[in-house]
Amino acid sequence: MKIYLKSTHISKKGVLLLALPLILLMISCTGENYEQEISFIDIERVGGITVDQDREKLSGIMEGLQVSDELGIAYGVDLRIMRAYQLSLITGEVQFLAPEGRGPGELFQPVQIVMKNENELFIFDTGLDMIAEYNNGLIINKYPAYSEHNVWVRNYNGFYHNGNIITAIDDYPKVRNMDFENAKPLAFLDFRKGELTKKGEFSPTIDKIDTDEKYPAIYFDEELNTVFYVFNTDYTLMGYHIDEDKTSVMSRYRPTEARIRSIAIQGSTAGNIDAAKALGLDRTIVLGVDRIGDHLVVVWHNYNEGFYDNMGDYSAGNVDYFGVIYDLPDLENPREFSLPGRFFGTYKNKLIIEEEYGSMDLKIGFYEFDFSSDPSSH
């Protein structure tokens, strides 16, 4: 990190007063008593698509897309119309995965997609509390889901591993009692046997001022057999290694734009724009964790005044989108980057980013990292 001081006459006492906030900033950025090195990397647009709304119409796209690089298809859920869909990342064509309803081959309130492979999916239907097994265009079976296990599922995507669905959870019996030492953020659900195991630990830097949003965004890395995760309003990168059954702090790197929560929720903010605004401007929210080549990527966003003044406008400027890219396997060399819109996932080592929020057409762009701009490569 380079520090530039204007050349003026300053007393020793003045120098100390100027330096003290900087020293405190360095300590708070890492949680450790050493200076955090900061470097940045650029991204560039390399393509994109406009979503075809002629046949099947989406109200919007959410983060956590599950993507088949081989087929060029993204699977997701549209929570406004409560439909699960597939989106061609080549043509923009949309196709809903199942009819609406409560019947054997139907989906009522799908909220999460888990991709086993290109043709097999598992879809969590929260309205029915069932896991729907989807194979080659049809729902072939349904299994009891999470309610009997006393957890709340979080995030729009999960991961499949050895017969289990790995998902982020709100371990609310313990979280409700502020028992963060024993609460678990991950669930491994063997839906065929009806067995659920809780794993992982809470981040050492997560705020403990209330029970709000105490769950992570996750990414399961098959190569490293590790679940990487970052809590919703936190910055520390955690890892749960399946073979070792061990949780570790992978990185305490704090992005320069990350906010630290300081305001506790006091009752409901429904209908109170000032209260919602105060809370929104007090936090940073993680959008996703994903892998690109030999790198792990974490993306966050900050709401700004314009987001509330413009009634929830997610355009860049109203919301700041930023992230950190780490080198695998040791999560070294963190570099920061900024994004022009919401992050939805990755496709063939490209970031999938929302463009032109609020336009009549749904548009997404594909962005690559410009590693020639990486200071560590010089």
What's the chain's average pLDDT? 89
pLDDT band at 15 (very low <50, low <70, confident <90, very high): very low
Q: Are 86 and 93 in contact (CB under 8 A)?
A: no
Please name the residues in contact with 236: beta carbons below 8 A apart, sequence gap of 6 or more: 31, 203, 204, 205, 206, 230, 249, 251, 252
Closest CA to 117 of 133, 97, 100: 133
Please check the confidence at residue 3 and state whether its pLDDT lies above 90: no
Q: Are 115 and 160 in contact (CB under 8 A)?
A: yes
User: Which residue is it, tokens 């929260």?
Assistant: 126
Tally the C-alpha atoms within 13 A of residue 376's C-alpha that lie toward its C-beta.
16
Q: Which two tokens stand for residue 40?
A: 């940045």
Q: How far apart are CA 234 and CA 242, in angstroms?
A: 23
97 or 11, greater pLDDT:
97
**DSSP conformation class of 40:** B
Q: What mean pLDDT do residues 6-33 have?
A: 37
pLDDT at 2: 28
pLDDT at 270: 66
Q: Which two tokens stand for residue 281?
A: 């401007």
In three-state secondary structure terms, 224 is coil
Q: Are 319 and 304 in contact (CB under 8 A)?
A: yes
Please name the residues in contact with 244: beta carbons below 8 A apart, sequence gap of 6 or more: none
What are the CA-CA distances from residue 258 to residues 35, 236, 307 (Å)? 17, 11, 17
**DSSP conformation class of 117:** S
Q: Are 198 and 183 in contact (CB under 8 A)?
A: no
Instruction: Give me the percent of the chain exceeding a pLDDT of 90.
Output: 82
pLDDT at 269: 67
pLDDT band at 375 (very low <50, low <70, confident <90, very high): low
User: Which residue is it, tokens 């734009």?
Assistant: 257
Q: How far apart are CA 100 and CA 120, in angstroms?
A: 20
pLDDT at 343: 98
126, 215, 120, 89: CA torsion to nearest 10 = 100
pLDDT at 68: 96
User: Which backbone phi and psi does 308 adopt, to 5 degrees?
Assistant: -85, -35
Q: Are 307 and 319 in contact (CB under 8 A)?
A: yes
Q: How far apart are CA 234 and CA 256, in angstroms?
A: 13
Closest CA to 36 of 350, 273, 324: 324
pTM as predicted: 0.89
Please check the confidence at residue 21 and state whether its pLDDT lies above 90: no
In three-state secondary structure terms, 56 is coil
Q: Are 248 and 228 in contact (CB under 8 A)?
A: no
Lowest mean pLDDT among 16-25, 73-82, 102-111, 356-365: 16-25
Q: Which two tokens stand for residue 104?
A: 């054997």
Q: Which residues pair with 66 in a beta bridge?
A: 75
pLDDT in tens, 134-175: 999 999 999 999 999 999 999 899 999 999 999 999 999 999
pLDDT band at 34 (very low <50, low <70, confident <90, very high): very low
Q: What mean pLDDT do residues 249-274 have?
A: 88
Q: Are 219 and 291 in contact (CB under 8 A)?
A: yes
Please check the confidence at residue 191 and state whether its pLDDT lies above 80: yes
Please check the confidence at residue 242 and state whether its pLDDT lies above 50: yes
pLDDT at 374: 74
Residue type at position 21: P
Closest CA to 201 of 247, 154, 249, 253: 247
Q: What mean pLDDT do residues 182-189 have?
A: 98
Please check the confidence at residue 237 and state whether its pLDDT lies above 80: yes
- Residue 34 CB-density burial (10 A; 0-12 exposed, 13-18 middle, 19+ buried): exposed
Q: Where are the alpha helices (DSSP H) in the chain?
A: 12-30, 172-175, 273-280, 305-309
